[in-house]
C-alpha cells in the first residue's frame, strides 16, 4: 500500500485525482485538514511521509512544495505548468515515444502536460518525428473546451452567472501567448511556437483540438488516409490513445463531431479528416481525464510499477 498526498486537493484537478484514488486498490490517501492546507510545517510533514505527492497548485506554490522534500523516496507529480519544459523533469505523456515510459518510471519528478498540449502533441509529434510534417511548418491549432478547464473561478462564473455572453463560445489568450505553447513546441519537435486559439464554451468538460495541414507543404506527400494509417501504426497497442479508422463516421452524430465523446474516461481519440490536398487532425479527450487528473494517475501507476490502467478503467 502506497501513501499518496494531494497538495491542493480542494481545487478542480485535486478533487478529480481524489475521486480516482478513492477507487484505487493500491493506495492510502493522506488527507490534510482544510484549515491546515497552507501551513508549511504541516504540509512538509505530509509531503515527506508520502510515496507520491500530487501538486495541484499555482506555479509558484508548486515550486515551493518541491523545495519541501527532504528525502530521496518521495516522488512528485506536478499538475501545474511550473516544470513542464524542464529537462530534469519527465514529461507525462507515456505514449510520446518508446522510451517515455521508462523515463517516467525511473524519475522522481514528473510533470503532467496541459490538456490542450496533450491533445496537440499526440497528433503532431509522431508526424514531425516521422519526417512527414516539417519542424518549421506554420502550425495553427484551434481548441474548444468546457469551462471546467478554467478552475473554480470559471466554474463559478458559468454556474452562478446568467449573462447572455456566457452562453456563446468565447475565444481567449488573444495575445497569442497561451501557457501551453512552450510545451507544444518542445514535445512536438517544432521550430516555432504555433498559432494557438483556444475557445471556452458553455459546457462542463470535454476538449477537442483541430490542426489543419496542407499536403503540398509536407516533407513527404501523404493523403489524409496515409496520415491516419501512420498514426494508427504509431499508437498500436496503446490503451489510452485510439486512432479512429479513416472515414469511420460511426462516432459522429449526424455527420458532426462530438467534442464530449471521451468524457469521464482517460482516453484520447485522434481523428483524421480530409482528402488528397487538405488534412484536418482532430483530437478529443476529457480535459479532467487524459488532459489532467486521469493522466496524473496513469503516471503514478507507471512510477509505482503497477498496472497502468489501475483505477482508470
Which amino acids are annotated catalytic?
A: 115
Q: In the Cβ-directed half-sphere of 90, how many Cα atoms lie within 13 Å?
A: 26
Instruction: Determine contact, residues 77/52, Cβ cutoff 8 Å.
Output: yes
Instruction: Determine contact, residues 271/283, Cβ cutoff 8 Å.
Output: yes
Residue 105's H or E segment, with its range, is helix 100-105
Residue 247: all three cell numbers together: 472515414
Nearest to 102 by CA among 113, 91, 114, 87: 91
Residue 24's H or E segment, with its range, is none
Instruction: Determine contact, residues 171/195, Cβ cutoff 8 Å.
Output: no
Instruction: Determine contact, residues 230/222, Cβ cutoff 8 Å.
Output: yes
Residue 177: all three cell numbers together: 501567448
Instruction: Determine contact, residues 94/101, Cβ cutoff 8 Å.
Output: yes
Alpha carbon dihedral 211, 261, 83, 109, in 10-degree steps, equals: -130
Contacts of 130 (CB under 8 A, 6+ apart): 230, 234
Beta bridge partners of 211: 281
Amino acid at each position: 500500500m502506497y501513501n499518496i498526498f494531494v497538495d491542493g486537493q480542494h481545487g478542480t484537478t485535486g478533487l478529480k485525482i481524489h475521486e480516482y484514488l478513492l477507487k484505487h486498490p493500491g493506495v492510502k490517501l493522506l488527507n490534510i485538514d482544510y484549515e491546515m492546507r497552507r501551513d508549511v510545517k504541516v504540509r512538509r510533514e505530509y509531503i515527506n511521509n508520502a510515496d507520491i505527492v500530487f501538486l495541484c497548485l499555482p506555479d509558484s506554490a508548486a515550486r515551493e512544495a518541491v523545495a519541501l522534500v527532504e528525502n530521496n523516496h518521495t516522488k512528485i507529480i506536478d499538475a501545474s505548468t511550473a516544470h513542464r519544459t524542464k529537462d530534469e523533469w519527465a514529461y507525462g505523456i507515456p505514449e510520446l515515444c518508446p522510451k517515455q515510459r521508462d523515463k517516467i518510471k525511473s524519475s522522481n519528478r514528473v510533470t503532467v502536460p496541459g490538456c490542450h498540449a496533450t491533445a496537440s502533441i499526440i497528433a503532431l509529434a509522431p508526424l514531425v518525428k516521422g519526417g512527414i510534417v516539417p519542424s518549421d511548418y506554420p502550425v495553427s491549432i484551434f481548441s474548444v473546451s468546457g469551462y471546467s478547464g478554467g478552475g473554480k473561478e470559471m466554474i463559478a462564473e458559468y454556474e452562478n452567472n446568467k449573462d447572455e455572453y456566457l452562453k456563446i463560445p468565447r475565444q481567449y489568450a488573444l495575445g497569442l501567448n497561451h501557457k501551453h505553447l512552450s510545451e507544444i513546441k518542445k514535445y512536438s519537435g517544432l521550430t516555432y511556437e504555433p498559432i494557438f486559439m483556444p475557445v471556452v464554451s458553455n459546457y462542463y468538460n470535454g476538449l477537442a483540438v483541430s490542426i489543419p495541414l496542407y499536403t503540398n507543404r509536407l516533407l513527404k506527400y501523404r493523403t489524409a488516409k496515409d496520415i491516419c494509417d501512420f498514426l494508427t501504426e504509431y499508437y498500436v497497442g496503446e490503451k489510452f490513445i485510439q486512432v479512429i479508422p479513416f472515414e469511420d463516421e460511426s462516432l459522429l452524430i449526424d455527420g458532426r463531431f462530438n467534442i464530449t465523446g471521451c468524457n469521464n474516461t482517460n482516453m484520447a481519440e485522434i481523428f483524421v479528416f480530409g482528402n488528397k490536398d487538405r488534412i484536418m487532425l482532430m483530437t478529443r479527450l476529457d480535459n479532467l481525464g487524459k488532459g489532467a487528473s486521469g493522466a496524473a494517475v496513469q503516471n503514478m501507476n507507471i512510477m509505482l510499477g503497477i498496472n497502468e490502467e489501475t483505477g482508470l478503467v
